[in-house]
Chains A and B, each alone.
Chain A
């Protein structure tokens, strides 16, 4: 056992470092559960699907729980990252690559070739893997399973069993435990069960509710304003209208208030399903996120470009949905566009007037650039300069967004590449919701990570284990508070710090950003001198 990484791609040397007998048994149990799913993928039609599905899920769950128990319960409470960089799975070794490629392949099939999983097309019955999930789906919603039901079930199981593992790993840390219970709850209840139950309402002819995860906000659920979604909601009487209004209120009222009070963590690491999977199943990969300056640069441009894309696409979608006749629609195309332009201008001016100083130079230029693009598109359309280039094609804009961002970026790369890019690649580089919340967090939130005076010894545990690729140490060693847009408040930097230097706090806005390089521990005169400069 050496700590030299094994770069040979030899399959003859599967890495079993530190795997005890109990862990091997647990792995075997879990793999039998997965094997049933694998058989189903290869179109084995099980005689009693309900029994085999139950068996498979129980074996997977039991395997993970036994493994976690053996891994953590035999040791005293405390940070247990021993050997993370020696294990093939968590250091981009062979197992890591195999997992990454396997997950990616699964996502590609799931999104683009679901019939390979056994999805019945043209009214045919499901076969294979999807058919295996039919009994469960019928119990919940009354309908046969779809590939999304299969995915949703496995996703929920993953969050719950790996959430259990995470809770054991951090059983000395109440913040981590409560936060994990929260993401498990929201995934199981809000993302999985409630939408399935809601689908039952659709048996009544008046109801046509879309699959709606109540906690999932625009622009993460970019399809909220799609035609079929709006049609479904509006045709479902008060319940549907209420949900639509709730969706809009969460964006403009609830989320800014919560973000003001607690930072974006209330969503990203306590509620969100993408975050939930990243924090639980993805926890073993958090150290893989790049902390390089170059990665930070790419991140800032990429995530905001996705946001702009999503704003433009949404405006276009709603625009095409609306009509021009004021007698038929209370909201016409014209007023909608004017309204959108007004809101964007308002947000932009407020930021530029009151918070200009808090933005970096490139952030200012970027904001001005993006704002100019959106507004000029709106003006061009509003004044009739162009009628075709942009909005008429809103359908293809929508499908491009759905394909490149919604499917490839968030699923295939975001989750499939966990073992390569770290567990928050989507949240960090692509999620438009994270961009909006991050913007609020950076400019007007009471949340910050405070650093404890002069106690930092620059060891680098915080930066290594930051899943968002923030170089936490660079702030901590200067005694500077951390107010970064991307911080999801997972609290692991604080947990892994061997000197107790970092703390997540909600406090007043004053003194939130202490950009002076303070020299805590030094004589006060020198500090005054340096801070005055």
Chain B
């Protein structure tokens, strides 16, 4: 009898692990989820509400794929892990035995104990159920006269874009004094502030939520702003102040938890034959500049790839390469390679260039003393991952990178190019600093 690998969670981490295990072995694989029957791409939920895609388009594999590859899908909510007996207990009371267990349950939206945070019409934007909830409470601008979004991260701005696509007025409460300024340097963050406002989204910087007010039926009626006491009437409140690992069901399991499931570099927990990957996994020690918990889509994918190797006999350490990421702020694409800090580190020098149309900019980070290239943020200009990966590995100096920036351009053909503008601005800035 082949070993039975049980995977809790059908997000990108769990699915990638399953696919790679199947490629390399004949093990019995079961994927358990209570959210949806088939794997879908969570990152695409917003496009369903916006009418760009139907739910079926967010499913990367056709429905026959799972049976053909002998990956069993089980609908159910795991309420308990009994590692002594190698058993999972479901909320329904059902029990399932496993030989190896992969925990890939992802995260849940944060809630910070605001009064009214569980009212009807208050929601995060993370699960498929959130989307259904939004469709119910904000189908159009007649039912939802105004929506308030609390929390200035990537999910917040996506939710703003979603509501905007249906002409629903949006007030966006951001705690920071500039959008996402914990991550983005001031020049970039400022440009995004203006871009948000250009879409007629009511962006309120430096504002916190005090409470959410209910009407007689227990539905959202308004929110109160902490700083000004202003009452904003609204029918929907989106809470998007980040996510945290979805690990409450493991509290008494004997599996070591921090904020997430504690794992070593081999993605092993303190219990043999139990592993954790994706958003719910927490490294004992952060890897490089990365955070111990990385709620990023592609790290989930990479952990799935790595763990599949380990499970199939090629014990492999999780070694994410150079940091990269991307996002889209309404109409502006953002890519980052290496490290550019929102507030420059002591050793870090940043060069910022912004185009006069206020929709394109880049920030290049390098070491003050050694001039080693450390990272780049680009907005409105596409860059090639492979080339920056190589330059970071080769520890190129910043002058080389600036001279060769055109090689890394990934914009479509016939697009205007800005490398020579950027280079001359860079040279000018170097003259001023020396």
Asked whether A458 is an interface residue with its Cβ less than 8 Å from the other chain, the reply is yes
A526 with B306, Cβ < 8 A, contacts A1-B166, A495-B412, A499-B333 known: yes
List the A side residues contacting B386 at CB < 8 Å: 452-453, 520
Interface string of A451-468 (1 = CB under 8 A from B): 011110111110110000
Contact call A500/B415, Cβ cutoff below 8 A = no
Asked whether B52 is an interface residue with its Cβ less than 8 Å from the other chain, the reply is yes
Contact call A519/B412, Cβ cutoff below 8 A = no
Asked whether A344 is an interface residue with its Cβ less than 8 Å from the other chain, the reply is no
- Interface residues in B, total, Cβ within 8 A: 62
Binds A, one of B42-50, B169-177, B363-371: B42-50
A297 to chain B, nearest CB (A): 13
Contact call A76/B199, Cβ cutoff below 8 A = yes
A309 to chain B, nearest CB (A): 31
Can you list 20 contacts pairing A with B, beta carbon distance less than 8 Å? Answer: A2-B140, A3-B135, A76-B198, A76-B199, A87-B51, A287-B53, A455-B326, A457-B43, A459-B47, A460-B57, A460-B58, A464-B57, A477-B60, A491-B413, A499-B328, A500-B333, A503-B412, A504-B412, A519-B305, A526-B305
List the B side residues contacting A504 at CB < 8 Å: 412-413
Chain B stretch 28-66: residues in CB contact (< 8 A) with chain A:
41, 43-44, 47-54, 57-60, 62
Chain A stretch 56-89: residues in CB contact (< 8 A) with chain B:
76-79, 81-87
Asked whether B416 is an interface residue with its Cβ less than 8 Å from the other chain, the reply is yes
Query: Given A87, A461, A522, which contacts B44 in the complex, CB threshold below 8 Å?
Result: A461
Chain A stretch 460-507: residues in CB contact (< 8 A) with chain B:
460-461, 463-464, 473-474, 477, 491, 494-496, 498-500, 503-504
Asked whether A124 is an interface residue with its Cβ less than 8 Å from the other chain, the reply is no
List the A side residues contacting B321 at CB < 8 Å: 520-524
Give B141's nearest chain A residue, CB to CB. A1
Query: Given B12, B44, B60, B385, which contacts A453 in the complex, CB threshold below 8 Å?
Result: B385
Query: Given A85, A174, A500, which contacts B52 in the complex, CB threshold below 8 Å?
Result: A85
Binds A, one of B77-85, B109-117, B185-193, B312-320: B312-320
Asked whether A388 is an interface residue with its Cβ less than 8 Å from the other chain, the reply is no
Contact call B135/A521, Cβ cutoff below 8 A = no
Contact call B302/A452, Cβ cutoff below 8 A = no
B173 to chain A, nearest CB (A): 23
Asked whether B384 is an interface residue with its Cβ less than 8 Å from the other chain, the reply is yes
Query: Given B52, B326, B330, B411, which contacts A81 in the complex, CB threshold below 8 Å?
Result: B52
Asked whether A25 is an interface residue with its Cβ less than 8 Å from the other chain, the reply is no
Query: Given B51, B57, B59, B319, which contacts A526 in the complex, CB threshold below 8 Å?
Result: B319
Contact call A174/B331, Cβ cutoff below 8 A = no
- Bound Cα distance A455, B327 (Å): 10
Contact call A455/B415, Cβ cutoff below 8 A = no
B347 to chain A, nearest CB (A): 25
Contact call B330/A460, Cβ cutoff below 8 A = no
- Interface residues in A, total, Cβ within 8 A: 55
Interface string of B405-428 (1 = CB under 8 A from A): 000001111111000000000000
Given contacts A500-B326, A500-B383, 14 further A-B contacts (CB under 8 A): A3-B51, A3-B135, A76-B198, A81-B51, A175-B415, A453-B386, A455-B326, A460-B44, A474-B60, A503-B382, A519-B302, A520-B321, A522-B319, A529-B316
A498 with B51, Cβ < 8 A, contacts A1-B166, A526-B319 known: no
Contact call B52/A464, Cβ cutoff below 8 A = yes
Contact call A458/B57, Cβ cutoff below 8 A = no
- Bound Cα distance A229, B53 (Å): 47
List the B side residues contacting A455 at CB < 8 Å: 298, 324, 326, 335, 385
Contact call B331/A459, Cβ cutoff below 8 A = no
List the A side residues contacting B320 at CB < 8 Å: 521-523
Contact call A457/B52, Cβ cutoff below 8 A = no
A526 with B316, Cβ < 8 A, contacts A3-B48, A500-B410 known: yes
Q: Which of B12, B298, B305, B328 has the most CB of A within 10 A?
A: B298
Give B195's nearest chain A residue, CB to CB. A76
Interface string of A6-43 (1 = CB under 8 A from B): 00000000000010000000000000000000000000
Contact call B309/A526, Cβ cutoff below 8 A = yes
B361 to chain A, nearest CB (A): 15
- Bound Cα distance A519, B62 (Å): 23
Asked whether B397 is an interface residue with its Cβ less than 8 Å from the other chain, the reply is no
Nearest 8 CB-CB pairs, A to B? Answer: A453-B385, A78-B331, A523-B319, A500-B382, A1-B140, A459-B44, A83-B51, A174-B414
List the B side residues contacting A345 at CB < 8 Å: none
A491 with B412, Cβ < 8 A, contacts A1-B140, A2-B135 known: yes
Contact call B57/A463, Cβ cutoff below 8 A = yes
A36 to chain B, nearest CB (A): 34
- Bound Cα distance A321, B62 (Å): 51
A485 to chain B, nearest CB (A): 21
- Bound Cα distance A221, B413 (Å): 31
Asked whether A113 is an interface residue with its Cβ less than 8 Å from the other chain, the reply is no
- Bound Cα distance A393, B381 (Å): 60
- Bound Cα distance A526, B54 (Å): 36
- Bound Cα distance A174, B44 (Å): 26
B377 to chain A, nearest CB (A): 13
Q: Which of B326, B331, B386, B393 has the most CB of A within 10 A?
A: B326
Contact call A77/B331, Cβ cutoff below 8 A = yes
List the A side residues contacting B165 at CB < 8 Å: 82-83
A472 to chain B, nearest CB (A): 11
